[in-house]
Structure 1
Amino acid sequence: MELSSILKPEAVKVFGTLSSKKRLFQDLGEIAATAYGLRPNDVVEALQERENLGPTGVGHGVALPHARLSGVNSVVGAFLRLEKPLDFDAVDRQPVDLVFALFAPLESGVDHLKALALVSRTLRDEAFCAKLRANDQAATLHALLTESPSSQAA
């Protein structure tokens, strides 16, 4: 699995300021609708349900919200770089500015977990995250994410 197989260029965005996690989920719903044909309300509801189980802010300014949805045929993703970090109840209590959301089919088992591990491993690299934070063009961010040597899993 590679990030290029789950992340379309139109699913990568840069946002200035978001007022809340709820607003972030709404924007992710709109991106998922445009890029993958998903229903925005379903995306928002599924992300919120998952978040209620425990925050998906993994630390160091990174969040990995994810959800299983009907209407998804394979694991797909959306990436947001926030110019103004957002409080996300992360494990290290630091605000989040890099968000990689994953949407998986309801019955996806190992593929969902492989994608989550791949994204987590990719965004654990501090030097790589610094490159992402230094760019404000969606096309450049997509290229970095999909061409990174760590963006591949066995």
Structure 2
Amino acid sequence: MERDGTKALRKYVEVSFSNFNTDKMKLIEEIAEVISIWLDNESDAQTIAKGIKEREALSTTGFGNGFAIPHGKIEGLESPILAVFKLEKEVEWDSLDDEAITQLFIILVPVDEAQDTHLALLSTLSYHLMDEEVQRKINEITENEEMKRFIEMIFKKGR
């Protein structure tokens, strides 16, 4: 496995919706529904939402400047995924800087790959998302393919 987890990623998806709920827990449920559909119901929405909520209950995944990296260990998932949601409405996420979020980078990993893969993906992503220039670029991106290329570049750089 690559140190940064890149080879472990099976899917990458970006979507922007204006009609997601602005309540954190309801938003997690709505996003879990979307991800479940993307995965052709490989893992059901309730399982995905439960995994994200369990992790969120430990401590916030909102680290500041409008960004959060919710993540979870998901039963039934075949391989890790990264889903990016650019939200048009701000959502209160109990972030470390007490600011609302508009960018969600969701990492989901199979339970049996949780340790190494999960930590590698999270470490690489969080390292780059702390960079103000990376944050600025992500905030400016409006096209799905451009976001995919940018995320791929981040993971190729590693830490």
The Cα RMSD (Å) is 2.1
- Equivalent in 84, 103, 125 of residue 131 of structure 2: 125
Distance 2:156 2:86 in 1: 17
| Partners of 1:31 and 1:78 within 8 A in 2 | no
Distance 2:121 2:56 in 1: 18
Distance 2:88 2:56 in 1: 22
TM-score, normalised with respect to structure 2:
0.83
Q: Helix, strand or coil for the counterpart of 1:94? A: coil
- Equivalent in 138, 142, 158 of residue 136 of structure 1: 142
- Equivalent in 65, 70, 90 of residue 85 of structure 1: 90
Q: Which residue does 1:25 correspond to in 2?
A: 28
Residue-by-residue CA offset, 1:18-56 (whole Å, 9 max, x unaligned): 321123212321232133332111101111111111111
Residue-by-residue CA offset, 1:81-108 (whole Å, 9 max, x unaligned): 1122211000110111111111112132
The runs of 5 or more residues in structure 2 that have no matched partner are none
| Partners of 2:73 and 2:111 within 8 A in 1 | yes
How many residue pairs match? The answer is: 152
Q: Superposition pairs for residues 55-74 of structure 1, below 5 Å?
A: 55-74=60-79
Which 4+ residue blocks in structure 1 deviate beyond 3 angstroms? 1-5
TM-score, normalised with respect to structure 1:
0.85
